[in-house]
């Protein structure tokens, strides 16, 4: 039995190129805002999960458990349709709702990455810093976190790529991202091969670019990194 593939018409994608370009920018905007906000909030949550104070530890723990244990799609709908209108009396638009949902969701995963990265550092590092008279906060800032950051980069990079793909869920609240552009073209022409193949290719290109950037950062902060030296006019060949 032979599969009968339809004739591919890339001209319909070209006709909606501006919509796809806008979708790329919206997707990148949601991803970057969600990721950076998630890093900042995740840092506080990760430190909270390491705190010995119960009034800090338990709220951080319950937050992480909730946002990791519920679907991102449900979180987006709750924030867009219930929480934000309940606070402000009206919706603030898909970008605000989508950004808030991605920040809150990403923070929960980043918190676990940061917590694990800090706990991976030997306890002797903190004890040595404290023996030199450094306060706990200063030791964490100057001794522990710089070392832990190198171990956090790979999982934080994976979270960035995952968040990029998860941002497509924001289309459920009419965000004009890449997936939304594909749905518009599919509905206009009643054709599905061209728009969704295009959507898949665009996400693949973006994840490839992000992957290369992550690899560069990972290599840049690795212990074996040796910066390239420019050869001067009077450099000696060995």
DSSP string, 144-206: IHHHHHHHHHHHHHHHHHHHHHHGGGGGGGT--SHHHHHHHHHHHHT--HHHHHHHHHHHHHH
List of residues 6+ apart from 192 with CB closer than 8 A:
186
Residue 227 clears pLDDT 70, i.e. is over it: no
pLDDT at 229: 55
Residue 180 clears pLDDT 60, i.e. is over it: yes
pLDDT tens-digit profile of 199-224?
999 999 999 999 999 999 988 877 55
pLDDT at 237: 45
pLDDT at 228: 55
Distance of CA 79 to the CA centre of its chain: 19
State the sign of the Cα–Cα–Cα–Cα dihedral 10, 16, 21, 24: negative
Query: How large is the average pLDDT for residues 181-187?
Result: 94
Q: Helices 94-119 and 145-166: crossing angle, nearest 10°?
A: 150
pLDDT at 234: 47
Asked if 147 contacts 121 with a C-beta cutoff of 8 angstroms, the reply is yes
Q: Which domains does the chain have, with CATH numbers?
A: 11-220 (1.10.3720.10)
């Amino acid at each position: 039995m032979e599969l009968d593939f339809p004739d591919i018409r890339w001209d319909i994608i070209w006709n909606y190129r501006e919509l796809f370009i806008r979708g790329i920018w919206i997707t990148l905007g949601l991803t970057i805002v969600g990721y950076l906000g998630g890093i900042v909030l995740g840092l506080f949550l990760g430190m909270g999960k390491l705190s010995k104070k119960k009034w800090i530890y338990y709220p951080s723990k319950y937050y992480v458990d909730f946002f990791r244990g519920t679907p991102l799609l449900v979180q987006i709908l709750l924030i867009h349709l219930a929480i934000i209108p309940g606070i402000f009396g009206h919706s603030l638009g898909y970008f605000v709702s989508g950004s808030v949902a991605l920040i809150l969701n990403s923070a929960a995963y980043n918190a676990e990455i940061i917590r694990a990265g800090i706990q991976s550092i030997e306890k002797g590092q903190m004890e040595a810093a404290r023996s030199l008279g450094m306060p706990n906060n200063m030791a964490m800032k100057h001794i522990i976190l710089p070392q832990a950051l190198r171990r956090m980069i790979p999982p934080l990079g994976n979270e960035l790529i995952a968040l990029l793909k998860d941002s497509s869920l924001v289309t459920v609240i009419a965000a004009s991202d890449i997936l939304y552009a594909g749905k518009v073209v599919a509905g206009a022409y009643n054709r599905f091969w061209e728009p969704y193949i295009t959507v898949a290719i665009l996400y693949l290109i973006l994840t490839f670019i992000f992957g290369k950037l992550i690899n560069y950062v990972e290599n840049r902060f690795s212990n074996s990194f040796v910066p390239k030296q420019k050869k001067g006019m009077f450099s000696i060949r060995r």
